[in-house]
A and B are shown apart, each in its own frame.
Chain A
Amino acid sequence: MAVLEVKNIGKHFGSTKVLDDVSFDLDEGNALAIIGSSGSGKTTLLRCLNFLEMPDHGSITVRGDVLFDADGSVKGLEKDLRTKRLHFGMVFQAFHLFPQYTALENVTLAEKLLAKERSDFKQNRKQIFEEIEAHGKALLEQMGLAERMEHYPHQLSGGQQQRVAIARALALKPDILCFDEPTSALDPELTGEVLKVIRGLAEQRTTMIIVTHEMAFARDVADRIIFMDEGVIVEQGDPRQVIDHPREERTKQFLTKY
Chain B
Amino acid sequence: MFYSVTQALLDGLLTTFQIFIFTLLFSLPLGLVLAFGEISRWKVLRGLIQTLVWIIRGTPLMLQLIIIFYGPGLWLGHNIWSGSEAGRITATVVAFSINYACYFSVIFRGGIEGVPVGQREAGEVLGMTKSQIFFKVTLLQMVKRVVPPMSNEIITLVKDTSLARIIAAYELTFAGYSFMKSDGLTWPLFYTGVFYLVFVGILTLLFNYIERRLDYFR
Contacts and interface: CB of A to CB of B under 8 A. Distances in A.
A92 B124 contact: no
A168 B132 CA distance: 17
Given A96-B122, A99-B141, A86 B127 contact: yes
A52 B125 CA distance: 8
A122 interface: no
Contacts of A15: none
Contacts of B84: none
A85 B125 contact: yes
A154 interface: yes
A179 interface: no
Interface string B129-163: 10010001100110000000000000000000000
A153 B129 CA distance: 23
Contacts of B121: 52, 92, 96
Interface in B114-130: 116, 118-119, 121-129
The range of chain B's interface size is 20 to 34
Nearest to A111: B126
Interface string A190-201: 000000000000
B216 interface: yes
A83 interface: yes
Contacts of B217: 99-101, 152-154
Interface string A34-52: 0000000000000000111
A96 B126 contact: no
Nearest to A82: B127
Contacts of B118: 92, 94, 96
A172 B127 CA distance: 9
B181 interface: no
A109 interface: yes
Given A96-B118, A110-B128, A114-B127, 18 more contacts: A50-B124, A50-B125, A52-B124, A52-B125, A82-B129, A85-B125, A85-B127, A90-B125, A92-B122, A94-B118, A96-B121, A98-B119, A99-B218, A110-B126, A152-B218, A153-B217, A154-B218, A168-B126
Interface of A: 50-52, 82-83, 85-86, 88-90, 92, 94, 96-101, 109-110, 113-114, 152-154, 168-169, 172
Interface of B: 116, 118-119, 121-129, 132, 136-137, 140-141, 216-218
